[in-house]
Structure 1
Amino acid sequence: MSLHREPVLFGATGFTGQLTAEYLVEVHKQNVTEEKLTIIWSINETRKENSLLTNFSWALAGRNLGKLEKVRDRLIELDSSLKDLDLIIANTNQPDSLDAVLSQTRVVISTVGPFTLYGTPLVEACLRQKTHYVDITGESPWIKTIIDKYDQQAKDNQVMIVPSCGFDSVPSDLGAYMVSQYMHTHHHLDLASLKMSVTKLKGGFSGGTIQSMMEIIYQQQQQQQLHNDGTKENMNDPYSLATRRGVDKGTLIPKLQRDHDFGHQWQTFFIMSAINEKVVRRSWSIWTDRGQSYGPLFTYQERTSVPHFLVALLLTSAVCTIFPLLTAMARYTPSFFRKLMHWLPGSGDGPTAEQRAKGGFEMQFVGVSESEPYDEAKRIRAIVKGFRDPGYGDTCRMVAESALCIVKSLHQLPGNKGGILTPATAFGQILIDRLTKDQGMVFQVKDL
């Protein structure tokens, strides 16, 4: 494999990995077509550089050559030019194999979960080889672990390690960033509070996602029980991933109340808020460290909008029942909990193509500025939309475009000095521009 093969997609034979590979094919074909048109156009015009259109070369990596070949065969059906696509054998249990791969590329995309089990060796190899890294994890305890262990090393090596580049947590993180930028640019004010509500969500769960969620619960309880290391406190700490503390209290279960800012609908728990809110607060803290804070009093919360009180009550009750029950099982009957994990859908299972095509999401944000006494605060509304299955369509778009930010625009990225970063602090507006190209996603913001 030559050095220009970037990005390398690690975990390409898994459910999300295969779909990410298909998205890269989609981008590759589009870029080739646009480049041909640009060349024709440039015969009579001075060609303008456009990093969004420049083609790229990439490779697939995984543990099993036979499975990788099957994935490539599927991709060749979509684009016959991929018959020479590189296939690379690498295993997280074999550091030498990881080093061999990562020494020859600038950026790797990882879809190999649960990251608590398989993520750390790849991050360590990226730091050894000075290779940038993006993934789709929503596992906040694991992110906390790599921040504590490797953030300074990543900065020293100027390596960008960027977890949570999928539906966890790009829409939330870039949405908050966009609102803050608008508030500063248009009103020259800090952002005091920001709330987000999911107003549309249609998509499925894959076996890998379910297994990752169960693994988080299991590892959290085992660590707490064996080492008494404060894991529970870290999980409940709204600033567990941040570099500094703010004023947010971070409540998990919302009050059952209507919110006129979101169509006067009932607000209830959003399952992704446990990771998204922490990622947004880490972004706030990193931007503050850089002297570009959202605001010293910044608070953030996420909810889901539902039209009926009974639906809100049912969802809230389920959260208050199911998660404590699973936590108790993981702590007091770990062997049974492991059996339960085996009974649930495993990696490789997920929504069908027809189901994914019907997916989509919409998130609405309402931000309020800081204000002097007797001054009226400025209020801003933002909308982030996706038009594919959030977990297995738009997630693939988001993680692939995150990697392509590094491939195409490394020197313009706000996070190019390295560290364990967030999507907003790593990529900022450049990722928004890539995601909104050709209306692939929508990021809109305006005054209320």
Structure 2
Amino acid sequence: MTRVHDVVILGATGFTGKLAAQYMARAYPPSSATPVRWAIAGRSADKLRDVLGTLGTAVDIVVCDLSDNDALERLVKSTSVVACYAGTPFIDKALPVVELCARHGTHYVDITGELPMHRASYDRYHDACKASGALVLHGCGFDSVPSDIGAFLAAGAMRERHDCGCSLIKMYYGKSSGGFSGGTLATIIALINADASMPGGKEVKQRGAYALDPVDGHGGPDTGSFGSPIVGYDRVGKTWVAPFVMAPTNAPVVRKSNAQLDYAYGRNMRYAEVMALPSLFAAVAVAVGLAAVGFAIVVPPIRALLFYARLLPRPGEGPSKQQQDEGFFASTAVAVGERGKEQLVTKAHVNSGNAGDPGYKATALMSMECALCLALQRDKCRAEGGVVTTAVGLGSVLVDRLNAAGMDVGVDK
């Protein structure tokens, strides 16, 4: 099988797909010390040419409609890695791509935080990926790289420094700046309105906090979606906290990593995510604001009014270039030693550095660096194929690439 490309960006005409292509053109031009054979793909040749015109470099264009299985199969067989941005939502577009990647030993990354997509992908194609050697990684952007890699580093430091597991890993998301796109909003609405027939949906609901655990996972002590929903003062992090809106997506990913790593973080580890805030007033304000936004999105008449007033973005709309460039995020993972050793604490950080806003520019960087781990350093990644997490599949290889790309990721002293 001839692989003419290292990476193909599928869905390159979408909001985040364009950013991924622009990142590649900027970070890995033909003159780069690390040459990469990459291409952009989508269903419209005209739109792909428009994207190409913004890149300042020549790359291949692959016209491929996801409903055309033959064309999709040719694309999958032509590349080492498919980086998929064809979502809104992913569940009804990306599963056929995963199926073909699993069959042909092509690696796959995407940026979806859709838990039913993660679950269905694992249940349907994990064994096929093991047979072909393909690594399939979902959630390779702000959902859920900082959480997954932060926990991986903090737990690893606990083992290395103290030779013990963790009773708790808690992720604290601090100051950040960014926006959200119409595509993300459309995905949220689609999932809210989805019926019970959605692939993976019933299984996610049944498994609760351990929605993504492998079939042989034993679960653990966590309950609920947020892990730590209380507004108040957090003694572990020594900060005021409020619920973090992405915790229901990120937490099951971290728990899956622990299970797939044979519970290296701790067999009875609890995991939680919160927003770190400077005062009780700020924590209450954030919690009330999140509740209000959630209510407005869930109730159709209010949502329609906000769209009409252009207070919510439509598909294809998102944060401005200035917001993307000036955006940032900071996060800290705190690990507490296992029972009897709770006085032991290790910390790790995942900060944006110069990557930009979390949901879009930094997500484009993180996801493409995940793809490049597989395209250029496959021998240093997980040897066995499968539907796994970034921590399990890439681990320290991704840490090194993120730092080299301008982010700030590591274990605290």
Assess same fold via TM > 0.5. yes
2:363 is equivalent to residue 383 of structure 1: no
2:51 is equivalent to residue 71 of structure 1: yes
1:130 matched residue in structure 2: 105
Q: Is the 8 A contact 1:211 1:341 kept in 2?
A: no
- Letter of the 1:285 counterpart: A
1:441 matched residue in structure 2: 407
1:100 matched residue in structure 2: 74
SS state at 2:169 partner: strand
The aligned runs of 1:157-306 (5 Å cut-off) are 157-219=132-194, 222-223=195-196, 230=202, 233-234=205-206, 237-243=208-214, 244=217, 245-252=219-226, 254-262=229-237, 264-288=238-262, 293-306=264-277
Q: Which runs of 5+ in 1 are unaligned?
A: 36-53
1:400 matched residue in structure 2: 368
Deviations 1:410-440 (A, max 9, x none): 12212x31111110011000000000016x1
1:43 matched residue in structure 2: none
Deviations 1:93-130 (A, max 9, x none): 11111001111111110011110221112112212332
SS state at 1:237 partner: helix
1:50 matched residue in structure 2: none
Distance 2:362 2:236 in 1: 26
Distance 1:362 1:107 in 2: 29
User: How much identity, in percent, do the aligned residues show?
Assistant: 33
Distance 1:397 1:251 in 2: 28
CA RMSD of aligned residues (A): 2.6
Distance 2:106 2:307 in 1: 34
Change (3 A) 1:402 1:341: farther
Q: Which runs of 4+ in 1 moved over 6 A?
A: 336-342
The aligned runs of 1:14-93 (5 Å cut-off) are 14-29=14-29, 32-33=31-32, 35=33, 54-76=34-56, 79=57, 82=58, 85-93=59-67
Per the TM alignment, residue 321 of structure 1 is displaced from its structure 2 partner at its CA by: 5.5
Q: Is the 8 A contact 2:7 2:371 kept in 1?
A: yes
Distance 2:388 2:307 in 1: 33
Larger Rg: 1
- Letter of the 2:359 counterpart: G
Q: Is the 8 A contact 1:250 1:301 kept in 2?
A: no
Per the TM alignment, residue 377 of structure 1 is displaced from its structure 2 partner at its CA by: 2.9
How many residue pairs align between the two structures? 403
Q: Aligned to 1:411, which of 370, 379, 382?
A: 379
Distance 2:164 2:181 in 1: 42
SS state at 1:32 partner: coil
Per the TM alignment, residue 322 of structure 1 is displaced from its structure 2 partner at its CA by: 5.1
Distance 1:411 1:165 in 2: 20
- Letter of the 1:32 counterpart: S
Q: Is the 8 A contact 1:98 1:122 kept in 2?
A: yes
Distance 2:306 2:79 in 1: 35
Deviations 1:169-212 (A, max 9, x none): 01110111111111111221112211111111111101111111
TM-score normalized by the length of structure 2: 0.90
2:331 is equivalent to residue 359 of structure 1: no
Distance 1:204 1:248 in 2: 30
Per the TM alignment, residue 446 of structure 1 is displaced from its structure 2 partner at its CA by: 3.0
Q: Which runs of 5+ in 2 are unaligned?
A: none
Per the TM alignment, residue 154 of structure 1 is displaced from its structure 2 partner at its CA by: 1.6
Distance 1:94 1:165 in 2: 26
Deviations 1:50-84 (A, max 9, x none): xxxx31111110000000001111112xx4xx2xx
TM-score normalized by the length of structure 1: 0.83
Per the TM alignment, residue 251 of structure 1 is displaced from its structure 2 partner at its CA by: 4.9
The structure richer in helix per residue is 1
Distance 2:111 2:43 in 1: 19
Q: Is the 8 A contact 1:116 1:216 kept in 2?
A: no
2:287 matched residue in structure 1: 316
Change (3 A) 1:296 1:231: closer
SS state at 2:261 partner: helix
SS state at 2:259 partner: helix
Distance 2:103 2:339 in 1: 47
Change (3 A) 1:72 1:251: closer
